[in-house]
């Protein structure tokens, strides 16, 4: 049974990973950046911290000690055999099979479950067990829209705006390929007329049965990300970098406060590995979390074994990216992204340094929002989808380097497509 992580379990701390800026519609999108420096100074992004969930663990097997060979080219067979492996392990250690939350396959050989902490020593001496990580939970908090006096929430408008970030990335481009971008986030507004949502490949980490999936966005973050990636070129609203590319909702944050567990995040990564094809892109606009070995390994394994591009937000607390999961993951198919503002100035809130590979627009970025609306928002969460849009189109090029970088001798290249 999937562990339902709902409101009421949270302590009275709220961490805000993003602050949104909403401005009037106008024909020239660059007008949205006139107060760019002022907006950047208003941003306050604390380090994201999660709290341990008592008696809930992620149990990872040694791949060379399980009874079968994991085959990235036979995903159904691998999933079926992993279910049997977990069942046998639980039977051996007399653990209730109803305690299982998620069974992983391509992302990690293992599972998550509710297990009494007193049982851990017995499990750890089993040679099949590689390590056990305590599950954690947290929340992003509400999507904050910071309105200025006299501003109204914008519904569908009859003129289409090219957001400044899309233009800086070289776009927009019309997507005509066979790939998808998986948006691992709060879901996507399934009815937004400016998005090409592929819910058939979607996933809800907090509902065990597909018939119970709720892929719709109750928060706003995922819809905003999806619009930057691929909003339609349809003469209204905004247009994305890879206009019209299918965006797949993988819901790993749930509810209006975007609550999550680490076991749920990994379940979303595993789903991308199962449903994605080589050359697909996964957008991970949640790079600045406290460290998790299991999450980092899941991201790296799926990217390498399935050759799926993992585009990861660097994080928003102005610190080295290498200290945070999954931003610190570095592999041939991972791309960690920092943020800059109009004028190519590095955003002061952005994480920096290894393994950041590119920088993209992340201040005052206009995109789609829930209930057919459009807002501006800031953060490396907004930078990463520009790169996801570029990557699904093909190779990423660079157009100079960001200014005022914290490491002047090694500034981040600006991602574009020409």
Do 357 and 384 meet the contact criterion of CB atoms below 8 Å apart? no
The DSSP-derived string for 190-221 is: TT-TT--B-GGG-EETT-SSGGG---S-SSSH
DSSP-derived pairing of the beta strands 203-204 and 144-147:
unpaired
Name the least confident of 17-26, 50-59, 151-160, 222-231: 17-26
252-271 pLDDT, tens per residue? 999 999 999 999 999 999 99
CATH of the domain at 390: 3.40.50.200
Q: What pLDDT sits at residue 156?
A: 63
Q: Give pLDDT, residue 11.
A: 34
Instruction: Kindly state whether residue 72 falls inside one of the protein's structural domains.
Output: yes
Residues 130 and 207 in one domain: no
Q: Which of 86-95, 145-154, 274-283 has the lowest mean pLDDT?
A: 145-154
For residues 391-414, give the mean pLDDT. 97
Residues 6+ apart with CB under 8 A from 89: 61, 95, 126, 128
Among residues of the chain, what percentage have pLDDT more than 90? Answer: 79
Predicted local distance difference test score (pLDDT) of residue 153:
54
Four-point Cα dihedral 222, 228, 232, 233, nearest 10: 160
In a domain, 5, yes or no: no
User: Do 55 and 43 belong together in one domain?
Assistant: no
**37, pLDDT greater than 60:** no
119 and 74 within one domain:
yes
Dihedral Cα 157, 159, 165, 167, nearest 10 deg: 170
209 and 68 housed in the same domain: no
User: Mean per-residue pLDDT for 211-216?
Assistant: 92
State yes or no: pLDDT of 32 exceeds 60.
no
Q: Is 6 exposed, middle or buried (0-12, 13-18, 19+ CB in 10 A)?
A: exposed
> What is the average pLDDT across 161-181?
97
Angle (nearest 5°) at CA 265 between 261 and 271: 140
pLDDT of 48 reads 63
Asked if residue 6 is part of any domain, the answer here is: no
Q: What is the DSSP letter of 40?
A: H
List Cα–Cα distances, 337 to 6, 16, 37, 385, in angstroms.
Answer: 31, 19, 20, 9
Is the pLDDT confidence value at 7 over 60? no
Residue 10 domain flag: no
What are residue 8's phi and psi, to 5 degrees? 120, -25
Question: Where in the sequence numbering do the catalytic residues fall?
Answer: 185, 221, 381
Of 6-15, 292-301, 357-366, which gets the smallest average pLDDT? 6-15
User: Where are the extended beta strands (E) located within 252-302?
Assistant: 259-261, 281-284, 288-289
Q: Are residues 254 and 314 in the same domain?
A: yes
| 130 Cβ contact partners less than 8 Å away, ≥ 6 residues apart | 60, 61, 62, 63, 110
User: Model-level pTM?
Assistant: 0.88
User: Into how many domains does the chain fold?
Assistant: 2
Residue 249 has pLDDT above 90, yes or no: yes
Separation CA 240–CA 409 (nearest Å): 32
Q: Is the pLDDT of residue 339 over 70?
A: yes
User: Looking at the structure, do residues 301 and 392 belong to the same domain, yes or no?
Assistant: yes
- Whether 8 is covered by a domain: the verdict is no
- CATH at 59: 3.30.70.80
Exposure letters 301-311 (e unless 16+ CB within 10 A, then b)? bbbebbebbbb
pLDDT computed for residue 43 by the predictor: 53
Show which of 118, 138, 158 is a domain's final residue. Answer: 138
Q: What is the mean pLDDT of the chain?
A: 88
217 and 364: one domain?
yes
Which domain covers residue 96, as residue numbers?
Answer: 51-138
Task: Please give the pLDDT value at position 143.
Answer: 73
- Domain end marker among 73, 108, 138: 138
Q: Considering only 103-117, 129-143, 338-352, which range has the smallest mean pLDDT?
A: 129-143
Please indicate, yes or no, whether residues 97 and 207 belong to a single structural domain of this protein: no
Q: Where does a domain end: 76, 107, 138? A: 138
User: What pLDDT does 34 receive?
Assistant: 33
Q: What is the pLDDT of residue 277?
A: 97
What is the per-residue pLDDT for 50? 86
Q: In this structure, are 314 and 335 located in the same domain?
A: yes
Shared domain check, 285 and 386? yes
Helix (H, G, I), strand (E, B), or coil: what is residue 382?
helix
Residues 6+ apart with CB under 8 A from 13: none
Residue 89 and residue 278: Cα distance in Å, rounded?
Answer: 32
pLDDT above 70 covers a percentage of the chain that reads: 85
Q: Is residue 406 part of a domain?
A: yes
Identify the band that residue 157 occupies on the pLDDT scale cut at 50, 70 and 90: low
12 assigned to some structural domain: no
Q: Is residue 150 over pLDDT 50?
A: no
Helix axes of 75-92 and 262-275: crossing angle, nearest 10 degrees: 150
pLDDT of residue 27: 31
Give the per-residue pLDDT at 307: 97
In a domain, 355, yes or no: yes
97 plus 218 within the same structural domain: no
Q: Does one domain contain both 66 and 158?
A: no
């Amino acid at each position: 049974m999937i562990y339902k992580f709902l409101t009421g379990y949270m302590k009275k701390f709220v961490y805000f990973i993003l602050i949104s800026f909403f401005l009037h519609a106008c024909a020239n999108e660059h007008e949205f950046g006139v107060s760019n420096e002022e907006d950047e100074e208003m941003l306050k992004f604390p380090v994201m911290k999660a709290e341990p969930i008592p008696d809930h663990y992620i149990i990872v097997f040694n791949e060379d000690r399980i009874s079968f060979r994991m085959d990235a080219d036979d995903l159904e067979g691998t999933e079926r055999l992993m279910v049997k492996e977990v069942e046998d392990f639980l039977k051996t250690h007399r653990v209730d099979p109803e305690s299982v939350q998620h069974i992983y396959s391509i992302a990690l050989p293992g599972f998550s479950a509710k297990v009494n902490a007193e049982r851990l020593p017995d499990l750890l001496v089993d040679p099949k067990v590689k390590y056990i990580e305590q599950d954690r939970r947290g929340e992003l908090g509400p999507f904050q829209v910071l309105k200025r006096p006299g501003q109204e929430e914008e519904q569908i408008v009859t003129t289409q705006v090219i957001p400044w970030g899309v233009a800086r990335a070289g776009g927009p481009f019309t997507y005509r390929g066979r790939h998808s971008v998986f948006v691992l986030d709060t879901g996507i507004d399934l009815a937004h007329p400016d998005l090409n949502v592929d819910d058939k490949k979607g996933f809800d980490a907090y509902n065990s049965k597909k018939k119970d999936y709720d892929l719709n966005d109750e928060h706003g973050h995922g819809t905003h990300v999806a619009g930057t990636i691929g909003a339609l070129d349809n003469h209204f609203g905004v247009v994305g970098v890879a206009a019209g590319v299918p965006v797949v909702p993988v819901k790993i944050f749930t509810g209006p406060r975007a609550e999550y567990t680490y076991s749920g995040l990994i379940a979303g990564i595993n789903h991308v590995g199962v449903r994605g094809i080589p050359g697909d892109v996964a957008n991970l606009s949640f790079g600045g979390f406290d460290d998790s070995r299991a999450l980092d390994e899941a991201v790296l394994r799926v990217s390498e074994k399935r050759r799926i591009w993992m585009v990861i937000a660097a994080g928003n607390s102005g610190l080295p990216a290498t200290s945070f999961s999954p931003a610190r993951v570095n592999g041939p198919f991972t791309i960690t992204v920092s943020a800059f503002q109009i004028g190519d100035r590095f955003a002061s809130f952005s994480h920096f340094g290894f393994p950041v590979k590119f920088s993209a627009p992340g201040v005052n970025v206009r995109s789609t929002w829930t209930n057919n609306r459009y807002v501006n928002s800031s953060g490396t969460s907004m930078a990463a989808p520009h790169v996801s849009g570029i990557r699904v189109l093909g190779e990423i090029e660079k157009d100079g380097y960001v200014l005022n970088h914290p490491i002047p001798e090694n500034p981040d290249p600006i991602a574009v497509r020409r």
